[in-house]
Chains A and B, each alone.
Chain A
Amino acid sequence: MATNSDLQALSSAMAAAVQSAGASVVTIDARQRYPASGVVIAPGLVLTASHVVQEDDIKVSLPDGEELSATLLGRDPNSDLALLKLSTLKGSAAATNENPQIGQLALALGRPTAEGVQASLGIVSSIGGPVRSHHGGLLDSYLRTDAIPYPGFSGGPLVDAEGSVLGINTSGLGMGASLTIPAKLAWKIAKSLEEHGSVKRGYLGVRSQLVELAEDARKALKREQESGLLIMSVEKSSPASAAGLIVGDVIVGFAGQLVTDHDELLLQLNSGVVNKSIDLEVLRGGKPESLKVTIGEQEEPAHEHRSHRHGRRQWGWGWRR
């Protein structure tokens, strides 16, 4: 039979995890009456939630209580992440765990006030994605946890039992509950924000509709692909028009990958193809053709808090996988 000491060991391990991870969790004061948290990813660099950064005057308090001013390096409304640069190269960087597993113990951490770090316990409940965010973009992956997201936890980490960061918690994506941007994706976005101030997403310049492929078309493709994207309009002076795409073409492949729905296409456009020339496979008049397209860059929405309804109307809404 298991002894009490196993339980005590687990208890101490979790306290140690909170202590070690908590050393990288900071307080963000950048939105009125909206305390929030952030995670130090390198000395002087803090990753937090985009929706908690609304003022130009950004203050970051380190675990030792020291308050520093910070500047916004960039934000990605699509994943609700923002990267801040501290006035000095302070803070200890968090360790990451890029292999979350459903069911593993997880601690949500936050430091909304000077009273210190706060924590709640749960497990990794689900690993999902890609999913449409309300900005019309595609969030590649996300985690959900049953650990309670206390007020001010947005921008703080979800950590494993060793204190390594599984992801960044946010309540700002408006998907009914708090969710967690996985560490692998969040750190990748942070790098992009540090280098470019934004996340580069590919732009093609078409509106399309999901269509079922006719028997003949499938035969012509010589593969069991059941759907593609019928082009309804081509924007002027877009990469699509430059490449000669026309209304009526059906996109079935992108850079060698099958395109069977809108999410597939968005996922491909998100995969670092800006300014690259790729092969777009289309059905034109029922026959497969390959077109070279130089992918452009999607401009971020002019304002982060554009209406959710707009996003819905344009893209549809729901848990598309």
Chain B
Amino acid sequence: MALPINFASAVSAAKPSLVAVFAKRYGAGAGILWSADGLVLTNRHVLSSHHPKVLLADERQLGAEVVATDEEIDLALLRVNARDLPAIQIGDSTQLRIGELVFTLGHPWGQRNSASFGIISQLGNAQTRGRRGLIPIIRTDARLAPGNSGGPLLNASGEVVGINTMIVGGNQGIAIPSAVAVDFVEQVKSKISVAN
């Protein structure tokens, strides 16, 4: 290859869309600017209060409203009162292949805006206790730590393909595929429009 490969390109595209979510006495989770008009996606388990605060990449700190949560897929949708936010590029997780390069963004151990990389280790399913029964999950060897929860798993193009959600066996990351997150957000949106 004539040029050195620029690993930073995938991360730099998504970095403005990474937020920190403060909803517990200690520590913070990560979150993703899902739409330019203020929707923020994060993990359900990051929240413990109904009045979380969201810290944007540009250091603005905003109060957020919890729009919807789904325990079964461990996702939560928040809304902040802001416009023209740098929404993340959403990738198609159904096209993922094992071995593909992936990057994570988050705040592991409170270290803000930290990245790690690895590959898609496996595309599998997990049993849930909810109505879905079985949901697709992504396994990755990219290093995750507390503080990565709710942050994006990015592909080589810098598109979000998963929501980093948990660590198993001490060294394997589990992400909820972006397709599951897209479904969740669309369902919430349609419920809201019906209610209106």
Q: Is chain B a partner of chain A in the same complex?
A: yes
A residues adjacent to B (C-beta < 8 A): 1-4, 6-8, 10-12, 14-19, 22, 107, 115-121, 147-148, 150-151
User: Can you name 13 extra interface pairs (CB under 8 A) apart from A6-B6, A7-B156, A119-B99?
Assistant: A3-B6, A7-B6, A10-B5, A11-B100, A12-B100, A14-B101, A117-B122, A118-B98, A119-B98, A119-B120, A119-B121, A150-B169, A151-B169
* Known contacts A116-B123, A119-B119, A150-B121; A15 and B98 CB within 8 A of each other: yes
Query: B-side binding surface: helix, strand, loop or mixed?
Result: loop
Check A7 against B122 for contact (C-beta < 8 Å).
no
User: How far, in angstroms, from A249 to B83 measured CA to CA in the complex?
Assistant: 89
Q: How far is the CB of A272 from chain B (nearest CB, A)?
A: 38
Given A6-B6, A10-B156, A19-B123 contact (CB < 8 Å): no
Closest approach, in angstroms, between the C-beta of B134 and any C-beta of chain A?
A: 12
Q: CB distance A115 to B157 under 8 Å? A: no
Asked whether, in the complex, the Cβ of A11 is within 8 Å of the Cβ of B101, the reply is: yes
The 6 closest A-B pairs by CB, nearest first: A18-B99, A2-B6, A15-B97, A11-B156, A11-B101, A120-B141
Among B6, B10, B119, the residue within 8 A (CB) of A107 is B119
Q: Is the CB of B122 within 8 A of A116?
A: yes
A245 to B2 CA separation, bound complex (whole angstroms): 62
Q: Nearest residue in A to B139 (C-beta to C-beta)?
A: A118
Question: How many residues on the B side are at the interface (Cβ–Cβ under 8 A)?
Answer: 30
What would 20 A/B residue contacts be, using CB atoms closer than 8 Å?
A3-B3, A3-B6, A6-B6, A7-B5, A7-B7, A7-B10, A11-B101, A14-B99, A16-B99, A18-B119, A19-B99, A115-B125, A116-B122, A118-B139, A119-B120, A121-B99, A147-B141, A148-B172, A150-B121, A151-B169
Closest CB of chain B to A89's CB: distance in Å? 27
B133 in the interface (beta carbon within 8 A): no
Q: With a CB–CB cut-off of 8 A, which chain B residues contact A115?
A: 122, 124-125
Nearest Cβ distance between residue A190 and chain B, in whole angstroms? 26
Q: Which of B99, B101, B123 has its CB near the most chain A CB atoms (within 10 A)?
A: B99
Tally of A-B Cβ pairs under 8 angstroms: 97
Distance, CA A120 to CA B171, complexed state (A): 11
CB within 8 A of A148: which of B5, B125, B141, B156?
A: B141
Are B98 and A121 in contact, with the CB atoms below 8 A?
Answer: no
A120 pairs with B118, CB closer than 8 A: yes
Report how far A12 CA is from B100 CA in the complex, Å: 6
Residues of the A chain whose Cβ atoms lie less than 8 Å from the Cβ of B157:
4, 7-8
Asked whether any CB of chain A lies closer than 8 Å to the CB of B152, the reply is no
Is B43 part of the binding interface, using a Cβ–Cβ cutoff of 8 Å? no
B122 contact set on A, CB distance < 8 A: 115-119
Q: Chain A residues with Cβ under 8 A from B119's Cβ? A: 14, 18, 107, 119-121
Chain B residue numbers with a CB within 8 Å of A15 are 97-100, 120
When distances are taken between beta carbons in the complex, the residues of chain B under 8 Å from A19 are 97-99
Q: Hey, what's the 0/1 contact readout for B105-122 against A, CB within 8 Å counting as 1?
A: 000000000000011111
User: Contact at A2–B101, with CB atoms within 8 Å?
Assistant: no
